[in-house]
Amino acid sequence: MAGTSPAMVRAGNIAAAMGQGRQIEFPWPGRYQTPMSSTVAPSLASPRRETAPPEHARALRIWLATLALLIVVMVMVGGATRLTGSGLSITEWQPIIGVVPPLSDADWDKAFATYQKIPQYTELKRGMSLDEFKTIFWWEWAHRFLGRLIGVVFSVPFLGFWLAGYIPRAYLPRLISLFLLGGLQGAVGWYMVKSGLVDRTDVSQYRLAAHFGTALLILGYTLWLLFGLGAEAREDHHGALLRAPIWVAGSILGLIFLQLLAGALVAGLEAGFGFNTWPLINGAFIPNGLGEASPWYLNPFENPLTVQFDHRMLGYSVVAACFAQLAWLALRHAPPQLIDSALTLALIASLQALLGVWTLLLVVPIPLGVAHQTGAVAVFCAAVYHLWLTTRLTAPEMVHTAASA
């Protein structure tokens, strides 16, 4: 039709289609149109991620960082409590009124009399003076007090943040789980202490390892929540994560966790006070006597020689694995932040291994023993951070961008 513009023709076609009841297909998207995959699909496939505003996230990070620091301090005091033989000085579990220490001479006499009934006193410390008892009492009391303090530092701010609307919805069940883990740790601690009150002069190495392992899980989970706060808003992953770096980082974290549990067995059996030579044990790299316990499967848990040997071998494995990961990431042209994190982990693991050798050769003096346990926690924290960072920096487009830079 002469004089008819293309726009009028398209309008006529649309009108005709409407009159015939046919479906209308627009050949170009209008500005008001958005693809279904970008609006409806996400709302059906996964709920919208709720994040905390920057000022809320900052307050929550300070809170969680304080909790993590207190947990580390509690682990250090726990190590000192173990090395000074103080862990059985308080023979009752009183979560509330136990926060008040003995205040009078009569209270101290009662606490001491209670301690004098357990095998540790009757078989190992008979004749201990009241002043000596007070020294070990204060170590254990401080350890338990820190546990109570952590509970308060968690609970009070948690209620305040929750009432003020600071806590993102996704974080609420995670924080409640963290609180439950803390309660479980208190019960595991008392379960450990009970093992040394009747038939033993010390606590069970199995229960000690469980107590230490639970503390590590709580610390690791606290750090994971801390690292993730506010990070959701910066995520721009549009593809599947590369699995290999995550599996490698996760495996190394698992190996470090296993090594720390082996260290708890060494502490529980006091295996560090024997075989104080390095790199050989009894003149051999693989000494005789590793299988002396019967049945054989108890050797990794109850034979002090085997337990210390395993702890050494796991230490070597951790250092080797950390440096292998570093080299592998460098060869794959991983993001620089990831390489830096792997390098930091490898260096901390190396320093911790050297500190362990030093502690062994000097037959575990208390300051070095506490430093060695603190170093172990530092390696664990570095591994947790590295794994978290790996999950953030291994999207295909990020790795491709880093490789092409």
CA distance 323 to 392: 21
Owner of token pair 């609180």 = 179
What percent of the chain has a predicted confidence (pLDDT) above 90?
78
CA distance 402 to 239: 16
CA distance 56 to 64: 12
Of residues 135 and 96, which shows the higher confidence score? Answer: 135
Of 10-14, 112-116, 164-168, least confident by mean pLDDT is: 10-14
Segment 160-189 shows an average pLDDT of 96
Angle between helix 243-269 and 336-361 (nearest 10): 10
Condensed to tens digits (0 to 9), the pLDDT of residues 4-42 reads: 555 454 545 544 544 444 444 433 333 334 444 444 333
Per DSSP, the residues of 341-393 read HHHHHHHHHHHHHHHHHHHHHTT--HHHHHHHHHHHHHHHHHHHHHHHHHHHS
- Length of the chain in terms of residues written: 405
pLDDT classification of 242: cutoffs 50, 70, 90:
confident
Task: Check if the beta carbon of residue 367 is closer than 8 Å to that of residue 393.
Answer: no
pLDDT averaged over every residue in the chain: 87
In this model, does residue 388 exceed pLDDT 60? yes
Owner of token pair 């290999």 = 244
Q: Is 30 left (phi over 0), alpha (psi -120 to 50) or beta?
A: beta
pLDDT classification of 230: cutoffs 50, 70, 90:
confident
CA distance 205 to 264: 7
In this model, does residue 310 exceed pLDDT 80? yes
Helix (H, G, I), strand (E, B) or coil at 199: coil
In this model, does residue 174 exceed pLDDT 70? yes
Q: Which pLDDT value is given to residue 95?
A: 87
Helix (H, G, I), strand (E, B) or coil at 121: helix
Of residues 382 and 24, which shows the higher confidence score? Answer: 382
Residue 269 burial by Cβ neighbours in a 10 Å radius (0-12, 13-18, 19+) = buried
Residue 144 burial by Cβ neighbours in a 10 Å radius (0-12, 13-18, 19+) = buried
Segment (H or E) for 169? none
CA distance 390 to 243: 10
CA distances from 285 to 99, 163, 402 (A): 48, 60, 43
Task: Check if the beta carbon of residue 192 is closer than 8 Å to that of residue 356.
Answer: no
In this model, does residue 340 exceed pLDDT 80? yes
In this model, does residue 279 exceed pLDDT 80? yes
Helix (H, G, I), strand (E, B) or coil at 202: coil
Q: How many CB atoms lie within 10 A of CB 274?
A: 13
In this structure, what token pair is assigned to residue 122?
A: 């009757």
Of 25-39, 59-73, 380-394, least confident by mean pLDDT is: 25-39
CA distance 281 to 313: 12
Q: Which pLDDT value is given to residue 198?
A: 92
pLDDT classification of 393: cutoffs 50, 70, 90:
confident
CA distance 150 to 78: 14
In this model, does residue 68 exceed pLDDT 70? yes
Residue 162 burial by Cβ neighbours in a 10 Å radius (0-12, 13-18, 19+) = middle
Closest to 364 (Cα-Cα) out of 84, 99, 113, 131: 84
Q: Which pLDDT value is given to residue 200?
A: 94
Q: Which pLDDT value is given to residue 52?
A: 78
In this model, does residue 199 exceed pLDDT 60? yes
